[in-house]
Chains A and B, each alone.
Chain A
Amino acid sequence: MDHKEKLCADAWANPSSGNDLTNEISADCPTFANFKPQLHQQKWEDPSILDYGGIGIEPSFQEFNQPSETQTSLPCNSNNDTKMADREDGRMCETPQANKSQDWDPRTMLNNLTFLEQKIHQLQDLVHLIVGRRGQVLGRPDELVAQQQQLITADLTSIIAQLISTAGSLLPSVKHTLSTTTPSIGQFGQLGGSFVPSGVGNDASVKLQNSNGSKLADQSNHTDLISNYGTEQNYSIEEHESKDEEDADEGENLPPGSYEILQLEKEEILAPHTHFCAICGKGFKRDANLRMHMRGHGDEYKTPAALAKPNKESSSEPTLIKRYSCPYAGCKRNKDHKKFQPLKTILCVKNHYKRTHCDKSYTCSRCNTKKFSVIADLKTHEKHCGKDKWLCSCGTTFSRKDKLFGHIALFQGHTPAIPLDETKGTQGPADHGEGSEASNRVGNINFSFSSTAPGGVGVVQSLMDVKESINDPTSYFSPLNFETCNFDGFHEFPRPPFEDSESSFSFLMPGSCNYTHKTGGEPNSNNLD
């Protein structure tokens, strides 16, 4: 790190590195030149590719690179050579194949992915640099800081733009998307603001591609496609809005690298206080509380400026969205995971870490069975514990009978599960199932908060609950349901234990316990209907 930092510092200190710049540009341009025919190759029947290559990407990249012309983008430099080699190799291999399969080539994709990987590494390095820099910069004059900030931002945007374009090229039809949704990638300065919808757009176009793949080659359908796409996009946005509020960041589908990844250490996450008084050392959970506390240390802390919320940057300043990584190695939320899914806020990180990687120390005082690691979860659970009496054989509970019946009407093989007190009346198998059913039932109650969400009142109410317990109500949806709902489990769910007539009493018997937890994710999605 030290070594690198020095190198970097050198590069920045040295304004004469313009040479490098030209090198880099020349190096970059061929890359894209290579890239273009390759795209063309993939989809050469589709005339829109020309649009894409010519208008969509190239000019914007030039535009992008412009700011960096005056400065160096050092990290890029180091990788350029290998990258080019890769690209050429890739192209060599592709050419013969292009005649055989005109639409899709895995090798191209592999190459693109490698490119993406490298770019991401660049980006990571850069971010590391920024992180390192921040500390040093503190003491320096403001101009320099501003200058460097600008520089870094410019570099970042360029890299990100490259990443996006390459990532986009992985999907044959994405050119429409890019050319329609992001009129000029040059506006990437406002990335944080504008990207989320376009990310969704990407997603939509992927769907479109899957369903209409054959149409793409057809010229006449081109316009249709675009209009189609428009509706598709709307649809998918809607879907994201309604779907899994708790999982907003999964829905937003940011392309890797379009955000800054931060990773807090375990101690930092678990620390009860995150804001400490510089004078007396007292810790606070919220910055606002700290500021209020500071007033006691003297009049200088009582000025409106001191009491104002810090870090309120001017809107003109382009900022990267921040995403967080879980420090737990191997976790899906850890940045080294293959299918890394970042966490949206620090609160998400905290709740995720506690829920997934910590002991559950809070026990529900009502049922004495359910345990939680996040106290807010416990409170939410306790509000509903025992209230959700409508039970499905899949283990899902509902606070309303009509919701249960809607659920059963929708899914094959699901049966209303007769409540415990009633099965008591019968002998034999019913009795047998009693005990297990009890645990089963109790086990399900923790999902209740998500199942009540769809009811308007439920949402409001739980939102209020959260307000009481958590600082940031806006981040309620994402943290609250991350880990109670295992989405991998959801896909496994349609295991129909009822179809088998022999084992079909599972709704009376312990069998249903096995998958209760797996299906946890379900209520949320079900209740959308």
Chain B
Amino acid sequence: MKRQRTIVTFNSNMNNNNNHLFHFLSEEIIFIILDFLNQNPIDKKAFSLACKSFYAIEAKHRKKLKPLRSEHIPQVLNRYPYVSHIDLTLCPRITDTSLTTISNACMSSLRSIDLSGSNCFSGTGLLSLAVNCKNLVEINLSNATELRDSAVAALAEAKNLENLWLGRCKQITDMGVGCIAVGCRKLRLISLKWCPGVGDLGVGLLAVKCKDIRSLDLSYLPITDKCLPSIFKLQYLEDLVLEGCFGIDDDSLSGLKHGCKSLKKLDISSCQNITHVGLSSLTSGSGSGGFLEQIILSHGSPVTLALADSLKKLPMLQSIKLDDCPVTYAGLKAIGNWCASLRELSLSKCAEVTDESLSSLLTKHKDLRKLDITCCRKITYASIDHITNSCTALTSLRMESCTLVPREAFVLIGQRCQFLEEIDITDNEVDDEGLKSICRCSNLSSLKLGICLNITDEGVANIGMCCSKLVELDLYRCTGISDSGISAVASGCPGLEMINIAYCKDITDSSLISLSKCSSLNTIESRGCPLITSLGLAAIAVGCKQLAKLDIKKCSSIDDAGMIPLAHFSQNLRQINLSYSSVTDVGLLSLASISCLQSLTILHLKGLSPSGLAAALLACRGLTKVKLQATFKTLLPHALFEHLEARGCVFQWRDKFFRAELDPQCWKIQLEDIMQMQ
């Protein structure tokens, strides 16, 4: 903030004296000043709009670009000649033409490009990128579901490529990966997650040809032990993700005994065929466990004594994730005796975790920073007492739905774990007293209190008083709170970026008006707040210029009057949910002026006519995702949808019946019933 003010002063000096002080500064110095202006994109925009020379300097300075529309790419690139990183994730449709334009404009200055989320380009565009942009080091092609081997083969011409993401490129096969392996010999990172066409041969060749690979993501690939030996021979491999590789078993991992000495992170979650036998390869022999820091065993085989013992000797291990694993007391106790001191432990959804096992586990790991005991429904006060006693350095505690933990236990958290930055106590018995104690953690940046029905304004007021660094606050279905609580939060937490007040039915416009002071807010979720009207929304629109996501589903009092200020002020809005509100054609159509609007959910809008919908859809040129009532499918011409789909928009049709809102308490009881039935 201070720096910004300085610049403003400079500007005013300049205008007053007609003496360009900035002329005394070299371009490099101004570049350094600009480097500090990266927190808020608007700052740079303001800078560049000050005068012609600032405009030129800012244009030269900019290295990263995240355009909204592919139409503007030629002009944008013309303005910013030194751009080296282009993020095209916001563009609904990137075609070969766009890629060719980019490659011809940037040539060898382009180093990184992100194309994830677009699947309209083909090999031609990639070819021009690969050929023209010799220094291209990084490309993200995730979600390019239509991409075929020939396109990947064209990309293989990018000889300097180091980082490549091909997640969810469903069409590519071993052949394409083989081309990459041969062409891009400098690869350091490659992600092939969810590429079901890629198997042993492609991965094996990759490991044979690209010796520099550091990070390899093979999640959900149909690979078997055939390709693993060559992977284990990779000298620099640090991060290996084998999540959901069902073809891998204990025998496959035996190669770990002698290879992969550089491995730092191993993810074998959801590999059901790996047991302690395979894991023991990590520690036996001159194995790869020497530098292993993180191991992820989620959704895997039972955490037994044998499994815990097999990992016992890993000297550098800091983090282990056992989410959704069947655990035994002996297993957890054995983890407690490990030689390394854990920093991070995740036991979420391990239903068998008890007070005894958790205590015996944590006795020795006093250095724990992050603990996830989400849905450990058996733990009680004793566990929390033990955790807070032994792990005082905790920075993150996630304990959603630990339903047996009584309200007194939460007081201990605030008393003993002063360094907490993140706490998730969704669906717990915490009350105002507990919350008050938790709010003593002054570094708190994320606080999740969803479905904590015992909390009232009194407790929430403490958040505003103590947690000035709070960024994220989740008050989903905290039915006990009202405007006064929110107003305290709004005044005490100026840096708030995300707030969820969904189904807090007592909240009115005054809450939104007070929240409009938090200028950093980018996500507001206020579903099911029937008292909120267009007036409150207008205040938000004016105050929170950064607003990107807005959910006003079931805010039945909001109508077109709220949309018009939104359309005018919230130029950064990307995602909006208007279902069940009173918005009509007019309001929807007015949203077309928000150029970055991408996602639109409009179910059960009573006032929406087919023609109004058609007009709005046509006017919002940046749309990528629209959720619509299935009835509109027949009411509107098919050609319209085809046209919109060609523009890069995906339609999701919903056919839900209108459901009346339940009483919160009743809602929770119903939820618990469902859970018990399962």
Residues of chain A having any CB pair with chain B under 8 Å: 401-402, 405, 408-409, 413-416, 418-419, 422-423, 425-430, 498, 501, 504-505, 507-508
CB<8 Å pairs between A and B, sample of 26: A401-B201, A405-B174, A405-B178, A408-B205, A409-B204, A409-B208, A409-B209, A413-B182, A415-B178, A415-B179, A415-B183, A416-B175, A416-B178, A418-B176, A418-B179, A419-B175, A422-B150, A423-B150, A425-B122, A426-B123, A426-B124, A426-B150, A426-B151, A427-B96, A501-B159, A508-B153
B156 adjacent to chain A (CB < 8 Å)? yes
Given contacts A418-B150, A426-B150, A426-B151, contact A408 B122 (CB under 8 A): no
Residue of A with least CB distance to B126: A426
Interface majority SS (helix, strand, loop, mixed), chain B:
helix
Given contacts A401-B174, A405-B178, A405-B204, contact A418 B156 (CB under 8 A): no
Residue of B with least CB distance to A424: B150
- State in angstroms the CA–CA spacing of A314 and B183 once bound together: 63
- State in angstroms the CA–CA spacing of A414 and B208 once bound together: 13
B148 adjacent to chain A (CB < 8 Å)? yes
Binary per-residue interface labels of chain B (296-339) against chain A in the complex, 1 for a CB within 8 Å, 0 otherwise: 00000000000000000000000000000000000000000000
- State in angstroms the CA–CA spacing of A271 and B124 once bound together: 56
- Which chain A residues lie closer than 8 Å to B617 at the CB level? none
- Which chain A residues lie closer than 8 Å to B148 at the CB level? 418, 422, 425-426
**A457 to nearest B CB, angstroms?**
20
Query: Does A430 contact B123, Cβ atoms closer than 8 Å?
Result: yes
- Which chain A residues lie closer than 8 Å to B123 at the CB level? 426, 428-430
- Which chain A residues lie closer than 8 Å to B438 at the CB level? none
Query: Does A415 contact B156, Cβ atoms closer than 8 Å?
Result: yes
Which 3 pairs from chain A and chain B are nearest by CB?
Answer: A428-B124, A416-B178, A405-B201
B431 adjacent to chain A (CB < 8 Å)? no
Binary per-residue interface labels of chain B (366-403) against chain A in the complex, 1 for a CB within 8 Å, 0 otherwise: 00000000000000000000000000000000000000
Binary per-residue interface labels of chain B (152-177) against chain A in the complex, 1 for a CB within 8 Å, 0 otherwise: 01101101000000000000001110
- Which chain B residues lie closer than 8 Å to A413 at the CB level? 182
- Which chain A residues lie closer than 8 Å to B149 at the CB level? 418, 422
**CB proximity to A under 8 Å, residues B170-216:** 174-176, 178-179, 182-183, 201-202, 204-205, 208-209
Residue of B with least CB distance to A425: B148
- State in angstroms the CA–CA spacing of A504 and B158 once bound together: 11
Kindly count the residue-residue contacts between A and B in the assembled complex, taking CB atoms under 8 Å apart. 80
Most A Cβ at <10 Å: residue of B175, B183, B208: B175
Query: Does A430 contact B124, Cβ atoms closer than 8 Å?
Result: yes
Residue of A with least CB distance to B202: A405
Known contacts A408-B178, A422-B149, A430-B154, then 7 further A-B pairs from the complex at CB < 8 Å, ordered by chain A residue: A405-B178, A416-B174, A416-B182, A419-B175, A422-B148, A426-B154, A428-B96
Query: Does B174 contact A408, Cβ atoms closer than 8 Å?
Result: no
- Which chain A residues lie closer than 8 Å to B122 at the CB level? 425-427
Query: Does B182 contact A415, Cβ atoms closer than 8 Å?
Result: yes
- State in angstroms the CA–CA spacing of A504 and B96 once bound together: 20
**CB proximity to A under 8 Å, residues B198-250:** 201-202, 204-205, 208-209
- Which chain B residues lie closer than 8 Å to A508 at the CB level? 150, 153-154
**A415 to nearest B CB, angstroms?**
4
- State in angstroms the CA–CA spacing of A428 and B100 once bound together: 12
- Which chain A residues lie closer than 8 Å to B208 at the CB level? 409
B461 adjacent to chain A (CB < 8 Å)? no
**B665 to nearest A CB, angstroms?**
57
- State in angstroms the CA–CA spacing of A507 and B209 once bound together: 19
- State in angstroms the CA–CA spacing of A32 and B183 once bound together: 61
Query: Count of B residues near A, CB < 8 Å?
Result: 28
- State in angstroms the CA–CA spacing of A505 and B153 once bound together: 9
- Which chain A residues lie closer than 8 Å to B131 at the CB level? 501
B452 adjacent to chain A (CB < 8 Å)? no
Residue of B with least CB distance to A423: B150
- State in angstroms the CA–CA spacing of A181 and B329 once bound together: 73
- Which chain B residues lie closer than 8 Å to A422 at the CB level? 148-150
Residue of B with least CB distance to A433: B150
Query: Does A405 contact B156, Cβ atoms closer than 8 Å?
Result: no
- Which chain B residues lie closer than 8 Å to A505 at the CB level? 127, 154, 157
- State in angstroms the CA–CA spacing of A409 and B201 once bound together: 10
Residues of chain B having any CB pair with chain A under 8 Å: 96, 122-124, 127, 131, 148-151, 153-154, 156-157, 159, 174-176, 178-179, 182-183, 201-202, 204-205, 208-209
**A189 to nearest B CB, angstroms?**
54
- Which chain A residues lie closer than 8 Å to B182 at the CB level? 408, 413-416, 498
- Which chain B residues lie closer than 8 Å to A414 at the CB level? 182
**A310 to nearest B CB, angstroms?**
55
- State in angstroms the CA–CA spacing of A402 and B122 once bound together: 27
- Which chain A residues lie closer than 8 Å to B209 at the CB level? 409
- Which chain A residues lie closer than 8 Å to B178 at the CB level? 405, 408, 415-416
- Which chain B residues lie closer than 8 Å to A501 at the CB level? 131, 157, 159
- Which chain B residues lie closer than 8 Å to A419 at the CB level? 175
- Which chain B residues lie closer than 8 Å to A430 at the CB level? 123-124, 150, 154
- State in angstroms the CA–CA spacing of A413 and B201 once bound together: 17
- State in angstroms the CA–CA spacing of A365 and B149 once bound together: 30
- Which chain B residues lie closer than 8 Å to A504 at the CB level? 157
- Which chain B residues lie closer than 8 Å to A423 at the CB level? 150
Most B Cβ at <10 Å: residue of A419, A429, A498: A429
- State in angstroms the CA–CA spacing of A507 and B150 once bound together: 10
- Which chain B residues lie closer than 8 Å to A498 at the CB level? 182
Query: Does A429 contact B174, Cβ atoms closer than 8 Å?
Result: no
Given contacts A426-B122, A429-B127, A430-B123, contact A415 B153 (CB under 8 A): yes
- State in angstroms the CA–CA spacing of A416 and B197 once bound together: 15
- State in angstroms the CA–CA spacing of A501 and B132 once bound together: 11
Query: Does B179 contact A427, Cβ atoms closer than 8 Å?
Result: no
- State in angstroms the CA–CA spacing of A370 and B653 once bound together: 54
- From B127, B179, B201, B202, give the contact of A428 (CB < 8 A): B127
- State in angstroms the CA–CA spacing of A519 and B153 once bound together: 22
**A505 to nearest B CB, angstroms?**
7
- Which chain A residues lie closer than 8 Å to B201 at the CB level? 401-402, 405
- State in angstroms the CA–CA spacing of A416 and B179 once bound together: 6
- State in angstroms the CA–CA spacing of A418 and B151 once bound together: 10
- Which chain B residues lie closer than 8 Å to A401 at the CB level? 174, 201
Residue of A with least CB distance to B125: A428
Residue of B with least CB distance to A412: B182
- Which chain B residues lie closer than 8 Å to A402 at the CB level? 201
- Which chain A residues lie closer than 8 Å to B151 at the CB level? 426
**B492 to nearest A CB, angstroms?**
57
**B420 to nearest A CB, angstroms?**
51
- State in angstroms the CA–CA spacing of A405 and B148 once bound together: 19
Most B Cβ at <10 Å: residue of A402, A418, A419, A508: A418
- Which chain B residues lie closer than 8 Å to A409 at the CB level? 204-205, 208-209
- Which chain A residues lie closer than 8 Å to B127 at the CB level? 428-429, 505
- State in angstroms the CA–CA spacing of A501 and B136 once bound together: 14
Residue of A with least CB distance to B199: A401
Given contacts A426-B123, A426-B148, contact A405 B157 (CB under 8 A): no
- State in angstroms the CA–CA spacing of A40 and B367 once bound together: 82
**B151 to nearest A CB, angstroms?**
6
- Which chain A residues lie closer than 8 Å to B157 at the CB level? 501, 504-505
- State in angstroms the CA–CA spacing of A425 and B153 once bound together: 13
**A414 to nearest B CB, angstroms?**
7
**B433 to nearest A CB, angstroms?**
65
- State in angstroms the CA–CA spacing of A414 and B209 once bound together: 11
Residue of B with least CB distance to A504: B157
- State in angstroms the CA–CA spacing of A426 and B99 once bound together: 14
- Which chain A residues lie closer than 8 Å to B176 at the CB level? 416, 418
- Which chain B residues lie closer than 8 Å to A426 at the CB level? 122-124, 148, 150-151, 154
Given contacts A408-B205, A409-B205, A418-B176, contact A507 B159 (CB under 8 A): no
- Which chain A residues lie closer than 8 Å to B150 at the CB level? 418, 422-423, 425-426, 430, 508
**B160 to nearest A CB, angstroms?**
10
- State in angstroms the CA–CA spacing of A199 and B121 once bound together: 62
- State in angstroms the CA–CA spacing of A504 and B205 once bound together: 20
- From A418, A428, A429, give the contact of B175 (CB < 8 A): A418
